[in-house]
Structure 1
Amino acid sequence: MGEGRVKQGWIRSHQSGLAALYRLLDGLLILGTLIVSCNLLGVTVSKDWVIAGLVAAVSFAFVAESLNLYRSWRGDSYLHMFSITALSWIAVCVLLILVGYFTKTAESFSRLAAGTWFFTTLTLLSAWRYGFRLVLFYLRLQGFNSRTAVVIGTTDSGKRLAADINGEPQLGIRVSGFYRVPGAESDEQAWSQNDRERILGDLEQAVAAAKAGELDLVYIALPMREELRIAEILHAFADSTVTVHVATDLFVNNLLHARFYQVGSSSLLSVHDTPIEGINSWLKRLEDLVLSSVILLLISPLMLAVAAAVKLTSKGPVIFKQHRYGLDGRPIKVWKFRSMTVQDNGDNVVQAKKNDARITPVGAFLRRTSLDELPQFINVLQGRMSIVGPRPHAVAHNEQYRALVNGYMLRHKVKPGITGWAQVNGWRGETDTLEKMSRRVEHDLQYIRNWSIWLDIRIVWMTLFKGFVGSNAY
């Protein structure tokens, strides 16, 4: 069991690295096909051709991302992938034609070479995706890049769903069994002995397994008339970071990141999912590396000055390392300049308040201006945090509020950030009421639902003007 998880986990941990090839190969393919097409037709690759190729490569990257081409296609058909690929490239071709027409530069290009380039590029963009898809299918058939799933509900539709998923091993999803839902409709009595042996327990045990990190995917398969019970199940799994799918056409409010897809004859709705996976996770990591490196270079003199001020004005270490929950609820250590005379890092952490006696004079200034958080750019380089994301809370506060605020743990579907959507919208600093924490979590989940590179850039820009200081920061 342990060896199997390591074998699967190695490929899974590098899945985003494999997905990063999509964007790189697309750009190289577009430029390479342009050069080959021109050379085969005896057309000189002039500066204008190179500019057209670069514009095409950059435009395709933006259009493809906007159409959600760079995501996991594990459960989708190749026809859908091809249609999005074709639509993205056709949009780029139309753009190039319009630019050539309105700038009156179309005469500088060979129509035959351009047409050959357009058609050949579309063919190759589609063909290499198909080939790469086959490679992934083969790896999943060998047991790599697989995920463990369970079905909630002992219904015939759930049994059919499990059969559909297990009947397509190239998806890399293994349904280990079923969990009963007390009081819900069940077809268990009509199941065969073999099917009943696959029942692993009840809903409470499933939630416990999800919280323990033993499950990757959960499929809820209950009748539509069980709407209230399904809502209760979603509420229960919101206290974990497992990805939840609903095998009905039930309309669910307040989805984290939802999309419909098909597995065999079963229609699924992804509920507690994240958009920051695959190529998107690499894009966000690249964003973090570039921004944190540049920022650290610029603020290094300031950090040295702050470190000296902390050391000279109070006893204790310069850097305070506090335990927090990171991606998927895993524990991390977040660095801050020490701003208090005591260091709360246990099971009972008292949040800083106005005129808090524990805060040093220098610390008060650091906290009001967010200068105490500058060392977290080092956490970003380490990969523990991101520039933009939900602010990390003390472990004690997580345990307190996860029981009070529905969906609280879903904030941990992405890396914690130095700044975030909640902070730039005024929900920064002390959360002395449940309402304040609820509003912060609400904004954090809005960020995850609507994440994009452009949203990150917008938040960074807003932070420069109103994210560093605030009336709630003590």
Structure 2
Amino acid sequence: MTLQTLSDPSGSIPERRRRPRRQAATTTPFIRVSMGMMNRMVGAADAVVILSAALIFHYLDIAGPPPLSFWQTLIAGLVGAVVFVASLATWGGYRVERYRRVRGQTLDVVVGVTLAALANRAVIWAFEPNVLTAHLWLSLWLLAVVCGLAMGRLACAVVVDALWTRGSLRRRVAVVGATLMAGDLIRRIRQEEWHRDLELVGLFDDRAPSVAGTVEDLRRLAQTRRVDLIVLAVPWNRSEEIFALGDRLQWISADVVTPLERPGFLSRSNALTQVAGVPALQLTRHPFRGTQGLVKQAQDYVVAACAVVLTAPILAVAATALALGGGGPVLFRQDRIGFNGRPFSIYKLRTMTIDPTDDGAGGQVRGNPRVTRLGALLRRTSIDELPQLLNVLKGEMSIVGPRPHVAGMRIGADPYAEAVRTYAARHQIKPGITGWAQINGMRGGIDTLEKARRGVELDLDYMRNWSLQLDLSIMAQTLTRHLMGPEVF
């Protein structure tokens, strides 16, 4: 196979090798706009418009005194909103490509409002049959709902068009493996049929770096540019290479798939997906897809902002005590590995005397003579961790997530990433101040291979089973049972 096979018609090579600088100003976004997220947001906006119209008519007396009580109006509005959203969801009205079509949106609004109005009238009849004779009041209410929905859909079309133009709704695809399979896939992605939904990031292969770059280039690229999907375009007769590549790409928070040459019995599998019309097996999915990422981020900012306000007096007292005690700066900073393997500076209150030769790769050691008396108290009460709330507000950390480690963290004489094969997958989400592993016995140092493996298992279990309820439970248990104690050192 020649390089021209993977070139565009002009003969240029797609996405030639680029090495992003470590100091790049841009970072990979944690929240990724997805079509599913857009659909849920439009559905929520429709429901809010319908319910708001009901409450506005009740309080403003636009068509005279409201013939229904507040609760009756609220229930009627809720029923109308639920019927409208459920109706559109049933026939596929909530699809991104539909929002840009005037005819389609008009049909959705008209049919949905008709069904919602019928349900609304049924509820009103159950409450107050005489209200059905208040034609002016009901007609103006219906007109307000239609106008509100029309304005909302117009705004939606503008937003979707802007997102399409910016490429935010396209999935950014990186292809790994300079093979004939890769060439066919790249040509498909560039076709008009698929170009609307997919954007090629580049082609990466260790054995042909002149084509695009190496796998290590891709890993560095993902720290500064969004990568949504990684396609391992390697034939299945090289299955060992597929799994080896999967291990190397664990650092990147992206879906990983491999094309199927013959789907066969997998054609009905839930793990089967498509890339530009090519059937592929889904190997991994990136965590916090769409709305989940939005909820997680909102939770982090709200909790961190409240915690900073509540703990400010404690931080002030601790910082003053450290400043009066001397021995170094109040704030301790250290480079740690964060989301997508990107380095960041973690903040803590200083608890040890300064040793410029200690890079932190050995982890925490019980009974470390460098820990000061005040530092021991700060550690036992977890007060030294409070400055990490600033890392959360900066978007570098989460309240709940895997604890961040220094680059080259060791378990005995071996690097953590080599001692535990799945270690790198922890970096597909933001590191946290506390986590599922910490409330399950992983506070303190990680000094054995068994404990290291257990910690990674717990972190990956958290990523697979994340929910808002789980995060709230971890935070509650951290505050009530794991904030201080002999296991913290």
Q: Give the TM-score of the pair, scaled to structure 2.
A: 0.68
* Identical columns (%): 28
Aligned CA distance change for structure 1 residues 279 and 353 (closer, same or farther; 3 Å): same
Alignment correspondent of 1:137: 164
Change in Cα spacing, 1:175 to 1:371, as seen in structure 2 (3 Å) is closer
Q: Which sits farther off after the overlay, 128-137 or 389-398?
A: 128-137
1:357 matched to 2:369:
yes
In the other structure, the counterpart of 1:149 is 174
Q: Is residue 464 of structure 1 aligned with residue 476 of structure 2?
A: no
CA contact (8 A) 1:218 1:242 kept: yes
Is the Cα contact below 8 Å between 2:401 and 2:435 reproduced in 1?
A: yes
Contact residue 50 and residue 81 of structure 2 kept, 8 A: no
Q: How does 1:328-343 map to 2 (within 5 A)?
A: 328-343=340-355
Residue 246 of structure 1 aligns to a residue whose secondary structure is strand
The one of 196, 210, 213 aligned to 2:218: 210
Give the distance between the partners of 1:378 and 1:239, measured in 2 at CA.
24
- Deviation string 1:291-342 (CA, Å, 9 cap, x unpaired) is 1121222222222222233334452222111111122222211111111112
- Cα distance 1:357–1:11, how it changes in 2: closer, same or farther (>3 A)? closer
**1:29-72 superposed Cα distances (whole Å, 9 cap, x missing partner):** 32323465897x97976523663488679989xx9xxxxx9xxx
CA contact (8 A) 2:205 2:215 kept: no
Which residue of structure 1 aligns with residue 424 of structure 2? 409
Of the two, which has the highest radius of gyration? 2
Gaps of 5+ in 1: 64-68, 182-198, 253-257
Which residue does 2:440 correspond to in 1? Answer: 425
Counterpart of 1:310 in structure 2 is 322
- Report 1:52-91 matches (<5 A): 52=75
Cα separation, 2, equivalents of 1:388 and 1:53 = 40
AA partner of residue 445 (structure 2): E
Q: Which runs of structure 2 are paired with 1:110-259 in the superposition (5 Å)?
A: 133=160, 135-140=162-167, 147=172, 149-152=174-177, 154-156=179-181, 158-167=182-191, 168-174=194-200, 176-177=202-203, 179=205, 200=209, 206-213=214-221, 216=227, 217-241=229-253, 243-248=255-260
Question: What amino acid is the match of 2:46?
Answer: L
Secondary structure of the corresponding residue to residue 352 of structure 1: coil
- Contact 1:27–1:58 under 8 Å retained in 2: no
CA distance in structure 1 between the aligned counterparts of 2:255 and 2:273, rounded to whole angstroms? 14
Distance 1:435 1:311, change over 3 A: same
Q: CA deviation at 1:462?
A: 1.9
Q: In structure 2, the residue corresponding to 1:392 is in which secondary structure?
A: coil
Counterpart amino acid of residue 214 in structure 2: A
Contact 1:154–1:178 (CA under 8 A) maintained in structure 2: no
Secondary structure of 2:418 counterpart: coil
In structure 2, the CA distance between the partners of 1:32 and 1:418, relative to structure 1 (3 Å rule), is same
1:31 aligns to 2:60 (yes or no): no
Contact persistence 1:11–1:145 (CA under 8 A): no
Q: Does 1:48 align with 2:71?
A: yes
Q: Deviations over 1:83-102 (max 9, x none)?
A: xxx9xxx9xx99xx8xx99x
Q: Give the distance between the partners of 1:57 and 1:471, measured in 2 at CA.
A: 57
1:448 to 438, 459, 463: 463
- Contact 2:349–2:384 at 8 Å: present in 1 too? yes
1:186 is matched with none
What amino acid maps onto 1:51 in structure 2? Answer: L
Aligned length: 419
For 2:244 and 2:256, the matched residues in 1 are separated by: 13
The one-letter amino acid of 1:451's match is W
| 1:402 aligned counterpart, secondary structure | helix
TM-score between both structures, scaled by the size of structure 1? 0.70
C-alpha distance in 1 between matches for 2:265 and 2:170 = 31
Report the AA paired with residue 165 of structure 1: I
> Is the 8 Å Cα contact of residues 349 and 385 (structure 2) preserved in structure 1?
yes
Structure 1 CA distance for aligned equivalents of residues 475 and 174 of structure 2: 37
Structure-2 change in CA distance of 1:118 and 1:370 (3 Å): same
Helix, strand or coil at the partner of 1:333: strand
Distance 2:290 2:395 in 1: 16
Cα offset for 1:201?
Answer: 6.1
Distance (whole Å) between structure 2 residues aligned to residue 471 and residue 57 of structure 1? 57
Q: Which residue of 2 aligns with 1:374?
A: 386
The question of whether the paired residues in 2 share the 8 Å contact of 1:12 and 1:144 is answered with: no
CA spacing shift, 1:151–1:445, aligned 2, 3 Å: same
Mean CA deviation greater in 214-223 or 323-332: 214-223
State the alpha-carbon separation in 1 of the partners of residues 476 and 77 from structure 2. Answer: 28
Tell me which residue corresponds to 1:276. Answer: 288
Shift of 1:373: 0.3
- The counterpart of 1:265, out of the listed 277, 281, 285, is 277
CA contact (8 A) 1:319 1:335 kept: yes
The answer to which of 456-465 and 280-289 deviates more is 280-289
Where in structure 2 are there 5+ consecutive unaligned residues? 1-14, 87-91
Q: Tell me if the contact between 2:203 and 2:211 (Cα under 8 Å) persists in the aligned partners.
A: no
Q: Do the aligned residues in 2 keep the contact of 1:392 with 1:416 (CA within 8 Å)?
A: yes
User: C-alpha distance in 2, partners of 1:10/1:392?
Assistant: 21
Q: How far apart, in 2, do the equivalents of 1:339 and 1:161 lie?
A: 54
- Matched AA of 1:166: R
Between the aligned partners of 1:372 and 1:339, the Cα distance in structure 2 is: 7
| Paired letter, 1:412 | H
| Partner in structure 1 of residue 336 of structure 2 | 324
**Per-residue CA distance 1:142-178 (angstroms, 9 max, x = gap):** x99673522426144x433323222211124116336
Taking a change above 3 Å as real, the CA distance of residues 22 and 426 of structure 1, as seen in their structure-2 partners, is same
Q: Residues 419 and 262 of structure 1: is their aligned pair in 2 closer, same or farther, counting only changes over 3 Å?
A: same
